[in-house]
């Protein structure tokens, strides 16, 4: 491994200057590092430096076992997780050096042990922090800590990607690291600096009195303190903001007194209130986005008054009868705690805004209903043709969006659908792929001269002709396993990373009522399709095999 770029003392000093007063606020730190050793190389999985304020003592370091943990199924691979207590100055210097590629995973060892890591870029700049970060390694007592991160600018190395498929290794990381970095890719192979609020041990904003004419908000800040030192709350300002009916209404800046108490008088009952604590020396320390107060709670209770037994009849030799019991719940009591605020205009406006959002969500839903609802003229040929054309146009519009991946899955996808849909994509880099079924390919269709031919034979001949015109853009067709009962029952359309589930077959879109909808978890479906694709057979150069030949 090529050695990391040397970090000069001048560079370190400039960064320490950006973090001026850091050692005073945080005398100690705990550095936590998870690493992988594979192929005679150490790799960084994730690490962070956790800085403890002056009123707390950092715990002693520890390791996850006396020896590195052996990864099952990967001989010679081990995982390690260590925590080391160091001074905040040493932790900061370690962090700065890591930004230049020198990730030392053994801070207190006689010699450094460097782990391979991708190029890291700081976010935000030195000396600044982000608050309210969704950090899976932050704990409740951190109370929304300040976070600085070194972001990996490259894809993880090959061994790390290979580790991703190891269930036992990911469970070990979850137990020791506190989270699975493979489910939080934004932290994988990166580093972070975590620092709690160094001035306030706690901060509360709450309504202390309320009338129909207005509301008083009280602020209570508790300083960090030891027998020798108490944090100076007068360096802080609390900014209180209010949102009403999806609009910003007010912002008030309230200086904090030495005792930590302050109030804000609102001229009316507040709606959604948020606040930020800002230090004139350290910048933003805490922020809470606007939220509503809990004014009323409805509580309902029910008791189990018995059970009922349900018998399911047999469905054949492979589907034996079943019996199960289901409980019967009866409502007993409901109660209401608190009362609604008498603010008629706000409540009415909120209800209208909710109705608008619901309507917009319905209109923007990634779904489309095909076909005609029952009516006096729903069977008219012109109406049926219009419904069919609308359904086809919708599918064609989806197909034309594909830039990298276009896959049709339909047990009855035939030569007509290849021409009607699969050839509609205009991008030269997209090769349509089709998973169809054996039963559909055996059905008969009218050929060019009007004679009935097997759909499979017609499709083979058509693809040969298309290959001379389209080259690599010629659709690739494979037959799903399962003989006359294709292993995949449903119909899918894969557009790049999206997956659409289609109720009707593509050969009857618009003829009957049916729905197409975008799948919320496409990766699961794409993996299933990929496995079936590998298990399927290419479209034969002759006639589709019979059931006996396929067996």
CB neighbours of residue 271 within 10 Å: 20
Query: What's the pLDDT score for residue 62?
Result: 92
List the one residue out of 435, 410, 434 whose CA is nearest residue 422: 434
Q: Report the DSSP pairing between strands 28-38 and 236-244.
A: unpaired
In which band, very low, low, confident or very high, does the pLDDT at 340 lie, cut at 50, 70 and 90? low
In which band, very low, low, confident or very high, does the pLDDT at 339 lie, cut at 50, 70 and 90? low
Stretch 35-45: mean pLDDT, rounded?
95
Query: What's the pLDDT score for residue 341?
Result: 63
How far is the C-alpha of 458 from the C-alpha of 452, rounded, in Å?
10
Of all residues in the chain, what percent carry a pLDDT higher than 90?
62
- Predicted model pTM: 0.73
Give the ranges where 114-247 is alpha helix by DSSP (H). 158-163, 167-177
Residue 351 pLDDT greater than 60, yes or no:
yes
In which band, very low, low, confident or very high, does the pLDDT at 245 lie, cut at 50, 70 and 90? confident
In which band, very low, low, confident or very high, does the pLDDT at 51 lie, cut at 50, 70 and 90? very high
Residues in the chain: 551
CB distance 43 to 117 below 8 Å: yes
Stretch 125-141: mean pLDDT, rounded?
93
Query: Which two structure tokens, joined as six digits, stand for 449?
Result: 């001269």
Q: What's the DSSP call for residue 234?
A: G
In which band, very low, low, confident or very high, does the pLDDT at 1 lie, cut at 50, 70 and 90? very low
Stretch 183-192: mean pLDDT, rounded?
95
Residue 545 pLDDT greater than 50, yes or no:
no
Stretch 500-504: mean pLDDT, rounded?
96
Residue 212 pLDDT greater than 90, yes or no:
no
How far is the C-alpha of 80 from the C-alpha of 68, rounded, in Å?
5
How far is the C-alpha of 248 from the C-alpha of 54, rounded, in Å?
37
Q: Tokens 């894969």 map to which residue?
A: 494
Stretch 490-511: mean pLDDT, rounded?
95
Residue 300 pLDDT greater than 90, yes or no:
no
How far is the C-alpha of 271 from the C-alpha of 341, rounded, in Å?
10
Stretch 329-344: mean pLDDT, rounded?
74
């Amino acid at each position: 491994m090529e050695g990391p770029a040397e970090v000069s003392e001048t560079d370190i000093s400039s960064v320490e200057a950006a973090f001026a007063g850091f050692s005073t606020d945080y005398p100690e730190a705990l550095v936590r590092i998870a690493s992988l050793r594979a192929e005679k190389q150490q790799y960084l999985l994730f690490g962070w430096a956790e800085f403890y304020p002056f009123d707390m003592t950092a715990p002693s370091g520890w390791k996850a076992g006396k020896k590195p943990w052996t990864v099952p199924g990967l001989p010679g691979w081990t995982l390690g997780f260590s925590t080391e207590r160091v001074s905040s100055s040493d932790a900061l210097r370690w962090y700065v050096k890591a930004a230049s590629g020198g990730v030392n995973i053994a801070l207190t060892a006689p010699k450094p042990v460097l782990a391979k890591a991708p190029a890291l870029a700081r976010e935000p700049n030195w000396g600044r922090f982000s608050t309210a970060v969704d950090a899976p390694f932050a704990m409740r007592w951190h109370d929304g800590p300040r976070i600085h991160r070194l972001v990996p600018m490259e894809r993880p190395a090959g061994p790390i990607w290979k580790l991703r498929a190891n269930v036992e290794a990911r469970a070990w990381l979850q137990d020791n690291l506190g989270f699975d970095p493979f489910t939080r890719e934004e932290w994988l192979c990166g580093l972070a600096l975590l620092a709690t609020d160094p001035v306030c041990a706690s901060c509360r904003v709450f309504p202390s009195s309320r009338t129909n004419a207005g509301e008083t908000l009280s602020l209570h800040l508790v300083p960090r303190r030891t027998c020798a030192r108490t944090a100076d709350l007068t360096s802080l300002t609390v900014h209180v903001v209010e949102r009403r009916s999806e609009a910003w209404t007010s912002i008030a800046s309230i200086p904090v007194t030495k005792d930590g108490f302050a109030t804000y008088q609102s001229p009316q009952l507040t709606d959604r209130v948020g606040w930020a604590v800002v230090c004139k020396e350290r910048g933003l320390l805490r922020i809470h986005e606007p939220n509503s107060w809990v004014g009323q709670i409805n509580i309902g209770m029910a008791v189990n008054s018995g059970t009922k037994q349900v018998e399911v009849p047999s469905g054949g030799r492979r589907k034996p009868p079943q019996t199960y019991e289901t409980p019967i719940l009866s409502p007993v009591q409901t109660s209401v705690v608190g009362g609604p605020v008498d603010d008629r205009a706000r409540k009415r406006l909120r209800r209208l805004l909710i109705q608008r959002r619901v309507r917009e969500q319905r209109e923007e839903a990634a779904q489309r209903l095909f076909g005609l609802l029952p009516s006096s003229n729903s069977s008219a040929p012109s109406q049926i043709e219009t419904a069919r054309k609308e359904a086809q146009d919708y599918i064609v519009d989806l197909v034309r969006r594909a830039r990298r991946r276009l896959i049709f899955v339909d047990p009855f996808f035939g030569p007509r659908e290849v021409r009607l849909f699969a050839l509609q994509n205009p991008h030269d880099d997209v090769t349509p792929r089709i998973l169809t079924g054996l039963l559909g390919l055996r059905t008969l269709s009218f050929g060019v001269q009007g004679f009935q031919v097997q759909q499979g034979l017609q499709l083979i001949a058509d693809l040969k002709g298309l290959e001379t015109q389209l080259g690599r853009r010629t659709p690739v067709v494979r037959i799903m396993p399962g003989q006359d009962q294709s292993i995949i029952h449903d119909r899918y359309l894969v557009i790049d990373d999206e997956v659409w589930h289609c109720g009707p077959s593509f050969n009857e879109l618009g003829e009957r009522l049916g729905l197409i909808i975008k799948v919320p978890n496409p990766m699961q479906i794409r993996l299933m399709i990929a496995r079936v694709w590998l298990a399927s057979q290419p479209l034969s150069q002759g006639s589709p095999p019979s059931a006996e030949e396929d067996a």
